[in-house]
């Protein structure tokens, strides 16, 4: 496995780059906007293809690199389903899996620091975001933070992991880079409490100043969605309502770009063909399945995904590949459901 821990000095943020092999797919966790050039250089140097960018929660101390990475690499942005970010490509819930080639992370909902905080578990390690820090815990005094929820997330979830599990947090201000669950259980001063009330007491009496960047970072991190207007302006978008009238039409091929887990959990539009976003590049090239479908049948390709981001990027790529009748459902399955569109399971 390729594993890199990268540091942003200005915010004390740790960013992680993971891949199962050189030349394979890469995942980045908690990227910082100012460091995007550095990440992309490293991605090139390691010969990786960045396919997913994940934020463990909506950050208050730095501007996320999610949007910039998506714009520059066409990767998928990922956050928890509770996030206040306007649009991310994929939202995960407790128990969902986040996969790239050769690697799978289990998402566990660990609110408390914020109400959209998730941790991501691998067999030997856990990315704890700001829920559990090295010899500390994430503050709980803004962004719907809740010390009781944090206690439950730490004691009820994270500390239940095997003691040898490596702990990789989203921040450190003292220079520590990694810990273990066993070490934190024994030596984290905030966890040496006898009850949830004692923990709450500690947390509400921290009296920390607000992060310097908070007034800038939070609004910026809530507005990271891909601008889909340009796609619509070119006539490549179909509103969910109008898409309902196209379903079943013989001249339309409806293509679901989501992953299997998303389809199983959220249902699908009846009659859609499944082609995950990751396999799009080869399928729209000459000889690829979508290319052949569009060329041999003259069908119009109608892409959709969860929120319209993957499909917007897919339309652009398909158009560039010469499949000029491609379009997508604006706002994805989310918009489809809101418009009362039928679902198949």
Minimum Å gap between C-beta 138 and Fe ion is 6
For Fe ion, which residue of 115, 130, 184, 262 counts as binding (CB under 5 A)?
A: 130
- Give the binding-site size for Fe ion (rule: CB under 5 A): 1
Measured from the CB atom, the residue of 56 and 165 that comes closer to Fe ion is 56
Measured from the CB atom, the residue of 132 and 335 that comes closer to Fe ion is 132
> CB under 5 A: which stretch of 30-38, 74-82, 94-102, 129-137 binds Fe ion?
129-137
Minimum Å gap between C-beta 63 and Fe ion is 13
Measured from the CB atom, the residue of 112 and 308 that comes closer to Fe ion is 112
Position 259 contacts Fe ion (CB under 5 A): no
Contact 180, 163 (CB under 8 A): yes
Per-residue binding string, Fe ion, 303-332, x by CB under 5 A, is: ------------------------------
Measured from the CB atom, the residue of 61 and 184 that comes closer to Fe ion is 61
Minimum Å gap between C-beta 51 and Fe ion is 24
Minimum Å gap between C-beta 7 and Fe ion is 16
> CB under 5 A: which stretch of 123-131, 185-193, 204-212, 270-278 binds Fe ion?
123-131
Q: Which of residues 139-158 bind Fe ion (CB under 5 A)?
A: none
> CB under 5 A: which stretch of 5-13, 17-25, 97-105, 122-130 binds Fe ion?
122-130
Measured from the CB atom, the residue of 14 and 199 that comes closer to Fe ion is 14
3-state SS, the chain, equals CEEEEEEECCCCEEEEEEECCCCCEEEEECCEHHHHHHHHHHHHHCCCEEEEEECCCCCCCCCECHHHHHHHHCCEEEEECCCCCCCCCEEECCCCEEEECCEEEEEEECCCCCCCCEEEECCCEEEEECCEECCEECCCCCCCCCHHHHHHHHHHHHHHCCCCCEEEECECCCCCCCEEHHHHHHHCHHHCCCCHHHHHHHHHCCCCCCCCCHHHHHHHHCCCCCCCHHHHHCCCEECHHHHHHHCCCCCEEEEECCCHHHHHHHCECCCCEECCHHHHHHHCCCCCHHHHHHHHHCCEEEEECCCCHHHHHHHHHHHHCCCCCCEEECCHHHHHHHCCCCCEC
Give the residue at shortest CB distance from Fe ion: 130
> CB under 5 A: which stretch of 78-86, 99-107, 127-135, 284-292 binds Fe ion?
127-135
Applying CB under 5 A, which residues contact Fe ion?
A: 130
């Amino acid at each position: 496995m390729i594993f890199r821990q990268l540091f942003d000095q200005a915010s004390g943020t740790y960013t992680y780059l993971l891949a199962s092999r050189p030349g394979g797919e890469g995942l980045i966790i908690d990227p910082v906007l100012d460091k995007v050039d550095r990440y992309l250089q490293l991605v090139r140097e390691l010969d990786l293809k960045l396919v997913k960018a994940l934020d463990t929660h909506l950050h208050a101390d730095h501007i996320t690199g999610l949007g910039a990475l998506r714009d520059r690499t066409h990767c998928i942005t990922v956050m928890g389903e509770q996030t206040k970010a306007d649009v991310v490509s994929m939202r995960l819930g407790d128990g969902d899996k986040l996969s790239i080639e050769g690697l799978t992370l289990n998402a566990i909902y660990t609110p408390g620091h914020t109400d959209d905080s998730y941790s991501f578990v691998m067999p030997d390690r856990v990315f704890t975001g700001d829920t559990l820090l090295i010899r500390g815990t994430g503050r709980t005094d803004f962004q719907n933070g809740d010390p009781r929820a944090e206690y439950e997330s730490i004691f009820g979830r994270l500390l239940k992991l095997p003691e040898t599990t490596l702990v990789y947090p989203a921040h450190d201000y003292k220079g520590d880079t990694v810990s273990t669950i066993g070490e934190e259980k024994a030596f984290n001063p905030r966890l040496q409490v006898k009850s949830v009330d004692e923990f709450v007491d500690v947390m509400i009496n921290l009296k920390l100043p607000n992060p310097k960047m908070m007034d800038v970072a939070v609004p910026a991190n809530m507005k990271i969605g891909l601008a889909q207007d340009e796609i619509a302006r070119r006539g490549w978008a179909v509103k969910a309502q109008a898409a309902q009238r196209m379903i079943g039409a013989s001249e339309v091929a409806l293509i679901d770009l989501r992953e299997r887990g998303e389809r199983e959990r959220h249902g699908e539009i009846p009659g859609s063909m499944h082609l995950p976003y990751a396999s799009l590049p080869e399928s729209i090239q000459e000889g690829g399945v979508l290319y052949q479908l569009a060329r041999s049948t003259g069908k119009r390709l109608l892409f959709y995904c969860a929120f319209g981001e993957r499909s917007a990027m897919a339309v652009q790529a398909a158009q560039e590949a010469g499949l000029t009748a491609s379009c997508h459902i604006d706002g994805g399955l989310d918009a489809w459901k809101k418009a009362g569109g039928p679902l198949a399971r």
